[in-house]
Structures are given as C-alpha cells and as structure tokens.
Structure 1
Amino acid sequence: MLNALSVDVEDWFQVGAFERTITRGEWDGLEHRVERNTDAVLALFDDAGVKGTFFTLGWVAERYPALMRRIVAAGHELASHGYDHARVFTFTPEEFRADLRRSRGLLEDAGGVAVTGYRAPSFSIDPRAPWAHRVLAEEGYRYSSSVAPVRHDHYGWPDSPRFAWRPLPDSPLLELPVTTALWHGRTLAAGGGGFFRLLPYGFSRWAIRQVNGEAGRPAIIYFHPWEIDPDQPRVAGAPLRSRVRHYTNLKAMAPKLRRLASDFRWTRVDALVDGEAGRVT
C-alpha cells in the first residue's frame, strides 16, 4: 500500500498556535529558518528514498524561490498552502480566490511547474466556508487536502467523510482528508503533525496499519519543517498550551520520521488522486 507523506512548508512563527502572539507585521524582522529546515527535510527524504508533497506558503516561495526549484528538482510535488497562513473561513469567497491566485502564481513562477493541489492553513475548510471547494474547482485545482474529520480546539470537521470524497456534484475536484483512526467508535486524529510528534510512535504505526489493512485505504500524513528544529527560538509570551504543543519532542521528530519512512511505502499526494477518485461514487 502506497501512502502519501506531505510537508506543510511554513516557518516557526507562522503557525496557528502563535497567531495571537506574533503579528503578521513582525514576520520579516524575525529569524527565518524555513529554508534550512526544508533543506533538512529534503535530505531526510533523499536518504530514505521518499517522494512527497510540499504544501508551501506563497510567502515562503516569494522569499526563497531557489528552494522551490530544489523541491521540484528532487522529484517532489509542489502544492499550495495559501499565501500567508490565513485561515480560509476568515476570507470572503473573493478574498479566498485572490489568495489562491497570489500564492499559486508565486509557486509556479518559482518552481516552474503547474500547481494543482491545495491544503488550507490549519485545515480551515469546514462548514464555516461552504463556498471554498467551489472556488477551488473554479480555479482549476485537481484536489484539496484541507479537511481534518475530527473534533479539535483549533480545527476540525467531524461530520466529513474520513476518506476521499467529492465536495461538488458537478466537478472532479477531490477532497483527500488527513488520516484518522477508529477506536471503540471514536474517530482519532492520526494524520501526523503534533499528534505524531507528541504521541508514542506505536500509535501512528497502529493507525496507519489500521487504515491500510482494515479500511484498505492509503494514509495521508503531514508534518512541518520547524518540527525537526529543536534550536528554533522560543516564544515566551505564548499561552502555555501552545508552547507545550509546539516545543515538545522536537529532538525526537527526525528519528521518528526516519522510522516512519522505513516502516511504510510513501508517495506524493497527487499520485493517489486517480486511485482514490475511482473509489468515490
């Protein structure tokens, strides 16, 4: 079973956990670590023989176009994560369209490839943005991986299907939710990110095996470049919960990723689209 490994390319200060602590106007004055961290991910993937998808902010592509070219040259998919990590439900439909066009233009100009995949910052496509998939379809996207079908204090659409689905009856656009597992009738977040970093590795291995074996479906896992950077700056003024979530087990993340890469087979998200589309009625 081929699973999809994806990277949400954003810097340490652009995460949802710090959005009320660090203002957008401060970003250019902070230490940028996204290029070196993404290069470290590229090296890890190369060592493991893994190809993946890099959902990248237009803000990053604008400042580091050579990094986009390195992602593409290494055989990975370059996809959109929006321009500057604004949550989709904070936009109007036309503001969302403008954000999509701005970020896609920057990514395609830098990477020299067509961008057909999208992941909403903080998985922010949910019932608060019922128009989002329509705008993505109109803008020509092939797929979205923007829904987390769980309950969470920062995001979630618990009523969403757990596996690939078509949001629109008149469009081939496919939604590929991040992975969840079932335990005693409960849906558990198991798609990576903080859950992968904070919980024992055995949980993720169990969840992926459940999705592959019992459901017969590929897993879609994600993480961020800053998660393999234990030396990143500390944000002292952030809420305690945010600091615990953001900084715990940073040193353990790279070894866990190497183990994950070895235990399962991985590919790009776009490589799953045709197979998953064939299973959607």
Structure 2
Amino acid sequence: MQTSPIRNAMTIDVEDYFQVSAFDSHIPRESWPSQPCRVERNIDRILALLDEGGIKATFFTLGWIAERYPAMVRRIVDSDHELASHGYAHRRASDQNEDEFMDDIGRSKALLEDIGGRQVLGYRAPSFSIGTRNLWALDALRQAGYRYSSSIYPVRHDHYGMPDAPRFAFYPNGRDGLLELPITTVRVMQRNLPAGGGGYFRFFPYQVSRWFLRHVNRHDRQSGIFYFHPWELDPGQPRQKNIGMKTRFRHYVNLDRMEGRLKALTRDFRWDRMDRIFLEKA
C-alpha cells in the first residue's frame, strides 16, 4: 500500500560493475572492453521490474555503455523512460578541467540523443562529483544544453558530498540557470543522513529506508530522489580480488536482497521520471 500521494523520482545510474569509481585503481580503463559485461541483462531485469509496477524512471546512462548497447538504450526509450546522461566514461567531474568536462558532457549528450532519438535534459556526475570546488561545472552543463543536474549529495562522505548544499531542488545561479536536484537526505540532529538509495539502501534494513522516504514526503512535503545501479541486482557478478575490506563491503553487501527490497519500494511509494516531477514544476 502506497504511503504518500507525492511522486518520487526513480533513477538508475547505467554503468557496469567494473566501472565503479572504487575500482579505478584495480581495473584499468584500457581493460574495460575485455571485461565480461553484464549490464544488458541487468537492465532487462530492471525494465521488467518497473513494468510490473507500472513505473516510469530516469536512466542516467554512460555514453560508453550506450555506444556498445544501442538496442538496450532504445528499449529504455521505447518503454517511455527518460534517457539522461551520466557522462561518457565515468570520469569524475572533479578530476576534469573545464575543457575536458565540456567535451565529456557534450559528447555523451550528442551520443545519447542520436541513439535514443530524444532530447537529453538531465545529467548526473559520476560519484556525485560536483561540489564546492567545481561549481563551475553547473554553468558548463547549462551551456551544453542541459536543463537539470542531479550531481550534488548534501552529506559528508569520504569520496563525495557537499553537506551545506540545499537539501531540495534549487537554482545555484538563478532561475535562468541550471536546476540542481540533490539526492535525498533526512535531517536528524543537525545532520543530513543519506536517504536516496545506493549502498545505503542495501546496508540499512528496508524499514529504515522506508521511514526516511516517508518522512521526506510527509514532513518535508517534498519528492524524494532514489538511485541505484544495475550491478546492484547482480550477486553473480565477477568478484574483484585484492581490494580493501571497506570497498569490498560497500560494493557487495546484500546484493542478493536488492531486488526484493526494490519491489517493496515500488509498492510502498509513487514513482515517476525526473523530468515529469521537477521540470513540469519549473
């Protein structure tokens, strides 16, 4: 039974298991073409899960993936989901200079639009890598033709985060600029707690995640933004060796429970695409 009439945004960061930032020092980029890809079968599982729940979502897709699986991208679009950009090759925005970033976001946008046949309005930086030190990236996105970004996570984290950023939709440079849509947090004891999915959704008991999102809907009267990755539904993915205990835990914890939790989440809340929830209000 759904707990709130408010629509929340269901989003998927379309990348494969070997492309996660935590594996950068273990899986060289030049080896990506030789890695066994599992993204297509996992996306098909996600599309079936969403179809079962009558849910439309936003797929932030890597250009590298779209280039190799154009039929998969067209299945996403043909199912009336929103196609958005996750950059081309999963390079953190914070690791690029302005010229490199402009090339990356322009290349991925053009590629996705060519394959999907739809205008691409949204962008999400890999690893939420837009923050205090590179806010210029939001202006660059607007110049490249994007209308919104979902690249800031207002939490404290060892790899990303901008804890002092607004918790809900805002225009960093005025209403003529880009709309930023931060990943959802819950405010508890003067601190933002992560409530938007990813590894936290696998780590916390489902009841905690459900309470977080319900609180945002009922107390803050705001739409939540939830995200996950295709590899999080894939406990059979190749296991990486020689990685640290923290990285191993974060990546592999409760992969076998993810699909069941997602099904519960689709039943307990209302969901829609990012553009339909936020741009129609703008």
TM norm structure 2: 0.96
Letter in 2 for 1:28: P
Match of 2:3 in 1: none
Give the 3 Å change call, closer, same or farther, for CA 172–134 of structure 1 in structure 2. closer
1:27 equivalenced with 2:32 (yes/no): yes
CA drift of 1:170 comes to 6.2
Q: Contact 2:139 / 2:177 at 8 angstroms: preserved in 1?
A: no
Match of 1:95 in 2: 100
1:138 equivalenced with 2:143 (yes/no): yes
1:76 equivalenced with 2:74 (yes/no): no
Q: 1:145-190 CA distances to partner (integer Å, 9 max, x unpaired)?
A: 0000000011101111000010112624200001000122221011
* SS state at 2:134 partner: coil
Q: Contact 1:228 / 1:253 at 8 angstroms: preserved in 2?
A: yes
Q: Write out aligned runs for 1:1-281 (5 A).
A: 1-169=6-174, 171-274=176-279, 277=282
Q: Contact 2:113 / 2:120 at 8 angstroms: preserved in 1?
A: yes
**Partner Cα separation in structure 2 for residue 46 and residue 246 of structure 1:** 27
Compare 4-13 and 165-174 and name the one that shifted more.
Answer: 165-174
* SS state at 1:13 partner: helix
Q: 1:258-277 CA distances to partner (integer Å, 9 max, x unpaired)?
A: 00000000000111223553
Q: Contact 2:57 / 2:272 at 8 angstroms: preserved in 1?
A: yes
**Partner Cα separation in structure 1 for residue 279 and residue 90 of structure 2:** 28
Q: 1:1-36 CA distances to partner (integer Å, 9 max, x unpaired)?
A: 000000000000000111111110111111000111
**Partner Cα separation in structure 2 for residue 7 and residue 134 of structure 1:** 24
Aligned length: 277
Give the 3 Å change call, closer, same or farther, for CA 219–186 of structure 1 in structure 2. same
Query: Once superposed, what is the RMSD of the aligned Cα atoms?
Result: 1.0
Q: Contact 2:40 / 2:69 at 8 angstroms: preserved in 1?
A: yes
* SS state at 1:271 partner: helix
Gaps of 5+ in 1: none
Identity %: 55
